[in-house]
Structure 1
Amino acid sequence: MALLHRAELRPTKLELLATWLPSRDWYAGVGDVTRVAGYRFDDPAGQVGIETLLVRGGDGPVHQVPLTYRGAPLDGADEWLVGTVEHSVLGRRWVYDAVGDPVYAAALADAILAGTGQAEEYFEVDGRREVRAPSMDIASDAPAGDVPTVGLVRRVVDGDPTLIVTDTVELGVIRRPGSVAAPNTATLTGAWGDVRAPLAYASRR
């Protein structure tokens, strides 16, 4: 489950992405960045926020941007740093393009290979849990099974799709859902509005 805070972010996530996204070769947006939908994964250790945003720049295509939020810098991941934000509850947060974060790689592998799905999002309101309805659905076509322990991220090939190579699993993140077909392997599919498209895929090494 993902506990959400009613908090202010400076800059906001979309302001941060409006600066960072144009630096990516796979980005094809023009104009203001707006949120289309999103989903979250759980970090079993409860230390890292894991959120994937679907965003659009102007009238451009929808892009998938997985992010991790950390309370301290991630060693060796400077090239994946999107920026920092000031969170009115949690303080300074380091925001990373999640493809370079091993916590994200493990969560994505679980979602695809074990079908763990997305985290339920909720607020604490007067001591009770207030669940926020998801803005999209995700589902895996892989039969549920054991997932090998995902160790370090050994290599990332940025592009569309972005390839993540770990000790035990190779993952692909489709940056523009619908732009490319997933290979014939375990696939995570997303649905929002009247759109249904592959988001990511995985194979054991």
Structure 2
Amino acid sequence: MAVIHEATLSPGKVELAAAWLATRPWAVGLRLGDRIGGYRFDDPAGEVGVEFLLVSATDADGLDRVVHLPVTYRGAPLEGAEDHLLGTTEHSALGTRWVYDGCADPVAVHVLLTAVLTGGEQEPLEYHRRSGRVEHPAVTVRAHGSGSWRADEVPPFDGVSIVHDHTAAVLEAAGFEITVKRLLDGVPVPGDETLEVVWPQGRGVLVGVRRLG
């Protein structure tokens, strides 16, 4: 269950994403529009927020695109990950949050790998209002892994290497190659196991996993 607090964020998620994308060579000329939605997986330790944002965009040629951006929210800086920090945001309920590129955060990569290999689905949402009322919003973005592993078969790891970072990020961790689409361009994602995502007016295989060696 992904717990979300009724709160304000300053700066907001799309604002942070836009500033970070402006520093990426592959995103030159890309203009972000509205947030389409997103999906979440839980950190088993309950310390790190893991979200995969979907945002509409227009590229340098004026074509409509979709950006798929994994991010993590942490209550303290992630050691050694300064180059992957999108920025900090002030959360009115939780205080300062350090926001990282999820492709470089071992917690995000592990929960993503687990979802793909075990056939996992996005977490249901639990929305906590300031009044104390708890709501369960309807799911508008669905993610589903293709695998049939048991959760205890997915190996733990402490680090992740980004081998290639372009419109798709290629990661290596625990003997797996994990390809994460960042900018949807119609090019298939390689992998023996995959994560398919369905959102309003769209769907696609956004993550592929294959075993190395």
TM-score, length of structure 1 as denominator length: 0.91
Matched, 1:193 2:197: no
Matched, 1:160 2:167: yes
Between the two proteins, what is the percent identity of the paired residues?
Answer: 40
The residue type paired with residue 211 of structure 2 is R
Deviates more, 1:138-147 or 1:156-165: 138-147
Number of residue pairs matched by the alignment: 205
Tell me if structure 1 keeps the 8 A contact 2:145–2:193: yes
The residue type paired with residue 93 of structure 1 is R
Cα distance in structure 2, aligned partners of 1:16 and 1:81: 10
1:58-99: CA deviation from partner (whole Å, max 9, x where unpaired): 453101000000011001111110000011111100000111
Cα distance in structure 1, aligned partners of 2:35 and 2:168: 20
1:166-196: CA deviation from partner (whole Å, max 9, x where unpaired): 1332211011235320224101011112322
Cα distance in structure 1, aligned partners of 2:133 and 2:141: 24
Counterparts in 2 of 1:40 and 1:169: CA distance versus 1, 3 Å: same
Segments of 5+ residues of structure 2 without an aligned counterpart are none
Segments of 5+ residues of structure 1 without an aligned counterpart are none
1:173 aligned residue: 180
1:48 aligned residue: 48
1:131 aligned residue: 136
Cα distance in structure 1, aligned partners of 2:12 and 2:143: 25
Counterparts in 2 of 1:28 and 1:40: CA distance versus 1, 3 Å: farther
Cα distance in structure 2, aligned partners of 1:175 and 1:99: 10
The residue type paired with residue 209 of structure 2 is A
Question: By how many angstroms is 1:6 displaced?
Answer: 0.5
Counterparts in 2 of 1:21 and 1:60: CA distance versus 1, 3 Å: farther
Alignment of 1:1-205 (within 5 A): 1-27=1-27, 30-58=30-58, 60-125=64-129, 129-145=134-150, 146-205=153-212
TM-score, length of structure 2 as denominator length: 0.88
